[in-house]
Amino acid sequence: MKLGDIFYPLWKWWWMLAVTTLIAILSSFYIVRLQPPIYETRTTLLVGRAIAEPNPNNNEFFLSQQLAGAYATMVMRDPVRSRTMETLQLEELPEYKAQIVPNSQFIEIVVIDISPLRAQVVANELANQLIMQSPTSSRQLSSERQAFVDQQLAEMEASILATENEISTTQEELAKLTSAIQIADTQQRLAALQEKLSLLRNNYANLLSNTGGGAINTLSVIEPASLPTRPIGPNKPGIVALSAAIGLALAASAAHLLEYLNNTLESPQEISRVLGLPILGYIAEVKDSKGVWFYVHKHPRSPISEAFRSLRANLDFASLDYPLKSIFIASPDTAEGKTTVAINLAVTMGQVGKKVILVDADLRKPTVYKYPGATTKIGLKNVLVDDLDLREALRPLGDHNISILPSGNRTARSAELLSSEKMDQVLISLEGLCDALIIDGPPFFISDAVILSAKVDGVLIVIRPGHTREDVARSMMEQMDRAGARVLGIVLNRISRKNAVAYGSYRYYSTHYADSPYFEGEGLKPAGGAWRRILSPLVGRRAKSSGKTSKPNLGPQSRS
């Protein structure tokens, strides 16, 4: 798959991509505009006292981390939630979570709410209720008992300091003594003081741990929740951008799906890209199906006739460097309009004085009997099988410098007859009798078309936009490549009227010349035709008031 095959559906359905993306942007903007801002705040708690100790040990840190995980789970449980809702008189709590700061004894309670004040109050109350569920709350002493304990701790601290000083003094005295008896007595007294100091220290540690000052399983708030001032969401630009991206992706997927399901060739760019050929002509659809055969002759001044003249000019340019006398009008499938193109192209060539022979080489399903004055009894088949003289089989077509060679009766041996040397001789003879040889044959799913494409100077492919399938057109190109045929280009035929102004030169005709007296018949209506119909009576009255009348001078019929 080429890169162009990926981007072409996006280019073709650009309006769907634009509309879908715009709808996604507007709808998402309307939705996020109604969403209130979201605020976030957090309370940080500390488990244990290890971080405040000058010489903590690993056991204290490990135990504190294990306790932090248990408390983080506890704060999400119903007892803490229920007590918090009861205390704050809330029917439900906003969204919150409890998380542990990695490799630490810290617990963070994060609350998210549309109200910043409520988020702050809930975060602090959750921390308070969690502390109430911990042993820390049971160690909260009354003020009198706390004062007594503090007094006892102070006295014990003083005793410890006094004992330490006494020990230091005794040690100094011991160093100055020389009597053995005095040294022995001093050593006994020093041992007693050290035993007293050890006892005082143990009592002090026990009292301190019972008050919670040295306990490990404790909770304390080190950073209460603050009132948030800046919202954390919603990210309105991000949501709108994401919606636009999703809408664009869905539209792009839909465009590729539509292209996958629709296997027909539509736009000129797509047709030229798929087949790799230039587009030589744009022929609009003719409303009058009965007059389609000789439309150029009946309506020489219509835009469609001008399109055939443009096709004739392009073929003349193609023959400058390479002789181009015989042209095979081909199509990938039926109902493309190749017969219409063949006969009107022949008439257009005859209008410039060329002698043209139109051959109906479809020996299986001939259409020449529809031409006025033609017959199905005598034709190409009789020349190839019965050795009928070629001049007897030709039928002149009025005064258009055109002769027609019908196909004759149908035959099942068409492929054998067209590939024979006799057919080569017939083509050489026909080229000697005319200036341009136009061959109308079967569509390319018939093997006869492949045979004819290899016997002519050039092949002109007729494509009907919105009707010709891409796989059939590709198959036709592969067959012509194998046959070594020279493909001149593409003619877009039966272009719908509503899309005709978007194809090539029809835009130019409809804009500049559609209201010109030169054009007639089924010409395209110019843009702004309604305004012209409204203003035309005013223009007519103005012409009458000035005493002037205008008649279009059509002049002689153009033959170029």
Per-residue pLDDT at 401: 84
Residue 70 is classified by DSSP as: H
Per-residue pLDDT reduced to its tens digit, 371-392? 555 555 788 988 999 888 898 8
Q: Which residue in 405, 397, 403 sits closest to 378, CA to CA?
A: 405
What is the mean pLDDT of the segment spanning 38-49?
A: 92
Q: Is 111 helix (H, G, I), strand (E, B) or coil?
A: strand
**Residue 551, pLDDT above cutoff 50:** no
**Residue 539, pLDDT above cutoff 70:** no
Q: Is 226 helix (H, G, I), strand (E, B) or coil?
A: coil
Spatial separation of the C-alpha atoms in residues 71 and 50, rounded to whole Å = 17
What is the mean pLDDT of the segment spanning 94-99?
A: 94
Angle, alpha carbons 194-197-199 (nearest 5°) = 110
- Assess whether 61 and 18 both reside in one domain: no
Structural domain ending residue among the three candidates 120, 139, 158? 139
State the DSSP H helix or E strand holding residue 95, giving kind and residue range, or none if neither. strand 95-100
- Assess whether 112 and 181 both reside in one domain: no
Q: Is the pTM of this model over 0.85?
A: no
The CATH number linked to 66 is 3.30.70.1130
User: To the nearest whole number, what is the mean pLDDT of the chain?
Assistant: 81
- Assess whether 116 and 131 both reside in one domain: yes
Per-residue pLDDT at 452: 94
Least confident of 116-125, 178-187, 356-365, 465-474: 178-187
Per-residue pLDDT at 555: 31
Q: Is 11 helix (H, G, I), strand (E, B) or coil?
A: helix
In a domain, 95, yes or no: yes
* Half-sphere CA count of 467, side-chain side, radius 13 A: 17
**Helix axis angle, 3-12 relative to 14-34, nearest 10°?**
70
Least confident of 35-39, 351-355, 403-407, 502-506: 502-506
In a domain, 155, yes or no: yes
- Assess whether 368 and 507 both reside in one domain: yes
Residue type, 354: K
Least confident of 126-135, 334-343, 529-538: 529-538
The maximal CA–CA distance of the chain, rounded, in angstroms, is 165
In a domain, 216, yes or no: no
In a domain, 224, yes or no: no
- Assess whether 282 and 202 both reside in one domain: no
Per-residue pLDDT at 53: 66
Q: How far is CA 480 from the centre of its chain?
A: 36
Least confident of 210-224, 249-263, 301-315: 210-224
Q: Which two tokens stand for residue 279?
A: 């587009």
Per-residue pLDDT reduced to its tens digit, 282-311? 998 877 656 666 788 888 888 889 999 999
Ranges of H-type helices in 233-333: 236-261, 268-275, 295-298, 303-318
State the DSSP H helix or E strand holding residue 281, giving kind and residue range, or none if neither. strand 279-284
In a domain, 131, yes or no: yes
R_g of the chain, CA atoms, integer Å: 51
The CATH number linked to 390 is 3.40.50.300
In a domain, 225, yes or no: no
What is the mean pLDDT of the segment spanning 174-203?
A: 83
Per-residue pLDDT at 136: 61
Angle, alpha carbons 370-334-325 (nearest 5°) = 70
Q: Between 399 and 238, where is the model more confident?
A: 238
**Residue 396, pLDDT above cutoff 80:** yes
**Residue 63, pLDDT above cutoff 50:** yes
With beta carbons less than 8 A apart as the criterion, state whether 479 and 452 touch.
no
**Residue 515, pLDDT above cutoff 80:** no
Domain count along the chain: 4
Per-residue pLDDT at 534: 37
**Residue 185, pLDDT above cutoff 50:** yes
- Assess whether 196 and 329 both reside in one domain: no
In a domain, 311, yes or no: yes
Per-residue pLDDT reduced to its tens digit, 324-382? 999 999 999 888 889 889 989 999 999 999 999 999 999 888 875 555 555 557 889 88
In a domain, 559, yes or no: no
Looking at the DSSP assignment, which residues form a beta bridge with residue 489? 460
- Assess whether 470 and 339 both reside in one domain: yes
With beta carbons less than 8 A apart as the criterion, state whether 119 and 225 touch.
yes
With beta carbons less than 8 A apart as the criterion, state whether 200 and 156 touch.
yes
- Assess whether 311 and 370 both reside in one domain: yes
Looking at the DSSP assignment, which residues form a beta bridge with residue 395? 404
- Assess whether 178 and 290 both reside in one domain: no
**Residue 536, pLDDT above cutoff 60:** no
Spatial separation of the C-alpha atoms in residues 471 and 493, rounded to whole Å = 19
**Residue 507, pLDDT above cutoff 90:** no
Structural domain ending residue among the three candidates 139, 162, 177? 139
**Residue 519, pLDDT above cutoff 60:** no
Per-residue pLDDT at 556: 30
With beta carbons less than 8 A apart as the criterion, state whether 328 and 452 touch.
yes
- Assess whether 278 and 418 both reside in one domain: yes
**Residue 557, pLDDT above cutoff 60:** no
Q: Which two tokens stand for residue 348?
A: 């257009």
Cis upstream peptide for 234 (omega within 30°)? yes
**Residue 509, pLDDT above cutoff 60:** no
Structural domain ending residue among the three candidates 139, 154, 177? 139
- Assess whether 396 and 536 both reside in one domain: yes
Per-residue pLDDT at 373: 52
- In order of 44, 226, 479, the CA distances from 128 in angstroms are 11, 15, 86
- Assess whether 29 and 92 both reside in one domain: no
- In order of 41, 134, 136, 221, 267, the CA distances from 66 in angstroms are 25, 14, 17, 18, 71
Spatial separation of the C-alpha atoms in residues 55 and 44, rounded to whole Å = 24
What is the mean pLDDT of the segment spanning 159-180?
A: 84
**Residue 545, pLDDT above cutoff 50:** no
Q: What percent of the chain has pLDDT over 70?
A: 80
Per-residue pLDDT at 370: 57
Q: Residue 560: which pLDDT band, with cuts at 50, 70 and 90?
A: very low
Per-residue pLDDT at 45: 94
Per-residue pLDDT at 549: 35
Q: Is 502 helix (H, G, I), strand (E, B) or coil?
A: coil
Spatial separation of the C-alpha atoms in residues 177 and 289, rounded to whole Å = 143
Residues of the domain holding 81: 39-139
